[in-house]
């Protein structure tokens, strides 16, 4: 029996600002619920920054990391956790570190509308697993 790989979605039109802000607001609410200080970045389907929100007190490095996670998720059409897991497994997965523009840390998730990628959210500020939880909360706005 052959297992089918799920189809990788195509790119759609760029996410609009109003929707990007709703995505960030949902992720921000998740961060507040846990007492996390984070940065939230949303890029559109062409990898251009649409919105960025930095909570008070978060370290400056998280700004670039959040943007890099969003860019990785939209450019490679998959959550950044996929790359984190591949590298953690070792072996051939370590080759991913050589890819330009790769941020292999959980916290970046593509945003879908009508089955197409319209952008991605990237979150940074705490442990990557927690970044991933906030990113999932934000992505639920578009991904259901």
For residue 11, what is the DSSP state?
A: B
Domain 17-143 CATH (choose: 3.40.50.720, 3.30.450.150, 3.40.50.920, 3.40.190.10): 3.30.450.150
pLDDT digits (tens, 9 = 90+) for 1-56: 566 666 889 999 999 999 999 999 999 999 999 999 999 999 999 999 999 999 99
pLDDT tens, 52-71?
999 999 999 999 999 999 99
Tokens (6 digits) for 69: 């996670």
For every residue of 21-70, which 3-state class applies, written as one string?
HHHHHHHHHHHHHHCCCCEEEEEECCCCEEEEEECCCCCCHHHHHHHHHH
Predicted structure pTM score: 0.94
- Cα separations (Å) of 34 from 65, 106, 126? 20, 17, 11
């Amino acid at each position: 029996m052959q297992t089918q790989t799920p189809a990788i979605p195509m790119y759609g039109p760029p996410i609009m600002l109003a929707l990007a802000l709703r995505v960030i607001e949902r992720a921000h609410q998740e961060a507040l619920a846990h007492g996390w200080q984070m940065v939230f970045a949303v890029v559109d389907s062409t990898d251009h920054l649409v919105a960025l929100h930095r909570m008070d007190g978060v370290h400056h490095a998280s700004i670039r990391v959040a943007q890099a996670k969003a860019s990785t998720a939209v450019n490679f059409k998959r959550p950044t956790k996929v790359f984190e897991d591949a590298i953690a497994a070792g072996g051939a997965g370590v080759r991913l570190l050589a890819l330009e523009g790769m941020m292999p840390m959980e916290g970046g998730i593509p945003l879908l509308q009508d089955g197409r990628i319209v952008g991605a959210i990237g979150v940074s500020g705490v442990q990557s697993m927690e970044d991933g939880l906030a990113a999932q909360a934000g992505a639920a706005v578009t991904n259901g």
